[in-house]
């Protein structure tokens, strides 16, 4: 069985997204700065390795509704994600939502399934299809915190961008306790890439 992992870009002050997220600014004001390290074709060895890990094939993913798109309430739009016709996941993706919706099959092997009965139900379904591959907790911050709270997260990789956002969606808000063991750390002028093993509390 694969591990449950999360790999996210984060600011120095702990934000995964800036304030005022919207359809026009899905990562909030200033949030795109967190991802400059992997835009285009990375040239720094540390950034290349981190990009390869970020894009490594997982067996399934779990993400929050805000990560999937800006639609709120009932599904009154045929929203199919931020990523165009062929999203980068190439695996089943289980989207947490309070509003039922039929699954959405995309090109390249990605199918979005909408789960209305909580994080642990989504993770159970992800485990059923992932086989020996890892399960990626794709975000956003709330969904990763739910994985932490459930004791499910086994590995956490943070790409720390040299940016202060000041406001937005902070990863560790409300996390009471988390024990981490350093596995690897590399850096470039663009980001510091840190991988931790998450230890039982």
Helices 119-130, 141-149: crossing angle, 10 deg rounding: 90
What is the pLDDT, as a whole number, of residue 32?
96
> What is the chain's mean pLDDT, rounded?
96
**What pLDDT digit, counting tens, does each position of 12-63 carry?**
999 999 999 999 999 999 999 999 999 989 999 999 999 999 999 999 999 9
What is the pLDDT, as a whole number, of residue 123?
98
What is the pLDDT, as a whole number, of residue 140?
94
Neighbours of 38 (CB within 10 A): 19
Mean pLDDT within 133-137 = 98
What is the pLDDT, as a whole number, of residue 50?
98
Confidence of residue 88 (pLDDT cuts 50, 70, 90): very high
Strand partners of residue 187: 192
Question: Looking at beta carbons, which pairs linking 82-90 to residues 24 or more positions away fall under 8 Å?
Answer: 82/26, 86/110, 88/55, 89/58, 89/61, 89/136, 89/138, 90/57
Confidence of residue 179 (pLDDT cuts 50, 70, 90): very high
Q: Is the pLDDT assigned to residue 176 strictly greater than 90? A: no
d(CA 153, CA 121): 15
**What pLDDT digit, counting tens, does each position of 139-161 carry?**
999 999 999 999 999 999 999 99
Domains and CATH numbers, the chain: 4-70+128-199 (3.40.430.10)
Strand partners of residue 155: 5, 197
d(CA 130, CA 135): 7
Q: Is the pLDDT assigned to residue 201 strictly greater than 90? A: no
Count how many Cα atoms sit within 13 Å of the Cα of residue 199 in the half-sphere of its side chain: 7
pTM to 2 decimal places: 0.96
Closest CA to 9 of 199, 201, 189, 158: 158
């Amino acid at each position: 069985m694969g591990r449950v992992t999360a790999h996210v870009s984060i600011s120095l002050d702990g934000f995964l997204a800036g304030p005022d997220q919207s359809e026009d600014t899905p990562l909030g004001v200033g949030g795109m700065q967190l991802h400059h390290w992997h835009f285009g074709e990375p040239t720094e060895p540390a950034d290349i390795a981190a990009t390869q890990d970020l894009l490594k094939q997982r067996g399934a993913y779990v993400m929050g509704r805000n990560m999937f798109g800006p639609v709120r309430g009932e599904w009154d739009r045929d929203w199919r994600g931020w990523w165009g016709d062929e999203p980068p996941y190439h695996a089943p993706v289980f989207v947490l939502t309070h509003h039922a919706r039929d699954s959405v099959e995309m090109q390249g092997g990605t199918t979005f399934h909408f789960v209305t009965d909580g994080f642990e139900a989504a993770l159970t379904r992800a485990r059923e299809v992932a086989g020996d591959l890892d399960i990626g907790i794709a975000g956003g911050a709330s969904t990763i915190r739910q994985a932490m709270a459930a004791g499910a997260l086994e590995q956490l990789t943070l790409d720390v961008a040299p940016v202060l956002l000041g406001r937005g969606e902070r990863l560790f808000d409300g996390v009471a306790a988390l024990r981490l063991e350093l596995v690897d750390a590399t850096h470039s002028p663009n980001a510091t890439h840190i991988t931790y093993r998450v230890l039982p509390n």
